[in-house]
Amino acid sequence: MTKNLKDFPSGAFSTTSIRRLEPGPYLDMLYSEEPTAVCAVPNTCREKLKRPPADQEHYVAILMSHHCIDLAQALSKVWQVACPKVAQNGSLYYAADETRTAA
């Protein structure tokens, strides 16, 4: 698992059984296989964040910004917090922002 795509291009492992996974898709894959277990971990991780601390909604936004989309959406439902969307430029926005700009 790596975010270092420059040094590990997708073809680097083509002759092996190894595959490169980015953190977001990897966490989403784990979530799809063991949703209950995976949902239990983020709250512990979030509570350890001190500088700066992250409430549940901010933690969901952090996951979205790292492309952990399925996990972020699941946690937003479990924690009953808003889940942002990712714009094409990579910035995050909320559905409420869409409504305001459309009006």
Model pLDDT for residues 38-59, shown as the tens digit of each residue? 888 888 888 888 888 889 999 9
> What residue numbers bound the domain in which 64 lies?
18-102
Provide the number of structural domains found in the chain: 1
Please report whether residue 41 resides in a domain: yes
Distance CA 37, CA 18 (A): 25
Each residue's pLDDT tens digit, 16-40: 888 888 888 888 888 889 988 888 8
Please report whether residue 7 resides in a domain: no
Please report whether residue 31 resides in a domain: yes
Backbone torsion region of residue 84, taken as left when φ is above 0, otherwise alpha when ψ lies between -120 and 50, otherwise beta: beta
- Continuous segment of H or E residues that includes residue 68: none
Please report whether residue 86 resides in a domain: yes
Please report whether residue 11 resides in a domain: no
Please report whether residue 10 resides in a domain: no
Please report whether residue 5 resides in a domain: no
User: Does 81 have pLDDT greater than 90?
Assistant: yes
- Find the mean pLDDT for residues 59-85: 90
For the chain, give the mean pLDDT: 84
